[in-house]
Amino acid sequence: MYETIESLVRFLKKIVPEPVVGAFRKPYHAALALLMAVSYGFPARRLTVIGVTGTKGKSTVAEMIFAILRAGGKKTALLSTIRFAIEDDSEPNRYKMTLQGRGFAQAFMRKALDAGCTHVVIELTSESVLQYRHLFLSLDAVVVTNIQKEHLERHGGFEGYVAAKRALVETLARSPKDERVLVANEDVPESAAFLKTRGVTSAIGFSAHEFENLSSDDRHVEFDFAGTHFSLPIAGAFNAMNALAAIKTCEAFGIARAAAARALSALPTVRGRVERIEAGQDFIAVVDYAHTPDSLSALYGAFPGKRKICVLGSTGGGRDAWKRPEMGRIADETCGTVILTNEDPYDEDPGAIVSAIAAGMKREPQVIMDRREAIRAALRAARPGDAVLISGKGTDPYIMEAGGKKTPWSDAQVVREELERLVSKV
């Protein structure tokens, strides 16, 4: 059914004028959401559905919840920006969007249900709200990792962006499920306010003040929480907050903290999220999705004491132009060497994007527009003990260019290829 609708919509887009499409876009999305839920038999009603939203950390938290639930004996599926997984059966998300439309989530949940799953973790975005993709998910829980400035043009400002996140929480409050669990970051005013939402049966906050003995290095983060010790094989103190959100969510569904600790200690690599690429080199090479000022600062802060060689652009031409000079400033103040490069210009001039980033810098950055060449230059400039940090794309499978052109791409693959060439010459 999903494939049929996908083909039909592609055909209609070719023959129906855009003004007509625009006028009917909202009712179309709402009606389609209902149609697809009906066609797949409302699978969400028979699953425990946990939605994960927020500006940063969504994919990592979703992966953590997936791992913990499975460690607790729950047969679980995962739909995220990074991948689609039903237990051990996993495939990468190559759509360059988090939650696909046209009934994709309903089709996925039906497949998970037919495979015997009892739980599904779904990453939710503010964009999905605009296109009614969050409807008929019959949510049992929503996790709000945090709220920061992002997608301001798309939502008409920060208030509109917050309203989209609030709509997800209100969808939970209206869910037909008996238990409606909200887990939200208390350290961010906007997400803390969600905890007062009427209709939620259990409102659970999480905060940095709950940690004891928090420590991190460039490979691990450790902390004690409620008498249990947690050690994760992932860098960055910010990942302690991601872990706490996952721990509390799973605890609300009967998973003991001890089981969560075991799952997180063996957490598989979260692709494109502080992902280390190893090829026998004597320095650190990391690929990360960081594409906002806050996430960029968090990434750089995960490698204290290291000389940093940083490769960045500004994800998404034509949107969030406000962040470009700010990201340039952060890189300028933190990195030993800054290389600016092309990322996802869409229909905007790539050179203008890079110039806007450079405007926030006091030093003159290196500008290498070919992304592979930029990565190669960064790796070649590294000395033993340095950290080469390539940010912005994470697991994004394409570079999005003018006229709808999509160039297949993988930061991790390119870094690995260039490292192997470099190491082979030593």
User: What pTM value is reported for the model?
Assistant: 0.92
Question: What is the DSSP annotation of 350-408?
Answer: HHHHHHHHHTT-SSPPEE--SHHHHHHHHHHH--TT-EEEEES-TT--EEE-GGG-EEE
- Give me the mean pLDDT over the 117-130 stretch: 90
Q: Which amino acid is at 14?
A: K
pLDDT one-digit tens code per residue, 349-390: 999 999 999 999 999 999 999 999 999 999 999 999 999 999
Give ∠ CA 80-83-86 in degrees, rounded to 5. Answer: 95
How many other β-carbons are positioned within 10 Å of the β-carbon of residue 30? Answer: 13
- Give me the mean pLDDT over the 248-270 stretch: 97
Output the CA–CA distances (angstroms, integers) from residue 246 to 62, 65, 141, 241, in the order listed: 8, 5, 12, 9
Question: What is the DSSP annotation of 244-312?
Answer: HHHHHHHHHTT--HHHHHHHHHTPPP-TTSSEE--SS-SSEEEEE---SHHHHHHHHHTSTTS-EEEEE
Using the CB atoms, write b or e for 110-133: b if 16+ within 10 Å: bbbbeeebebbbbbbbbbbbbbbb
- Indicate the class that CATH gives domain 9-265: alpha beta
Decide yes or no: CATH 3.20.190.10 for domain 275-425: no
The model's confidence at residue 135, banded by pLDDT at 50, 70 and 90, is confident
- Give me the mean pLDDT over the 220-228 stretch: 97
Per-domain residue ranges for the chain? 9-265, 275-425
Q: Are strands 308-312 and 141-144 parallel, antiparallel or unpaired?
A: unpaired
- Gyration radius of the chain over CA positions: 21
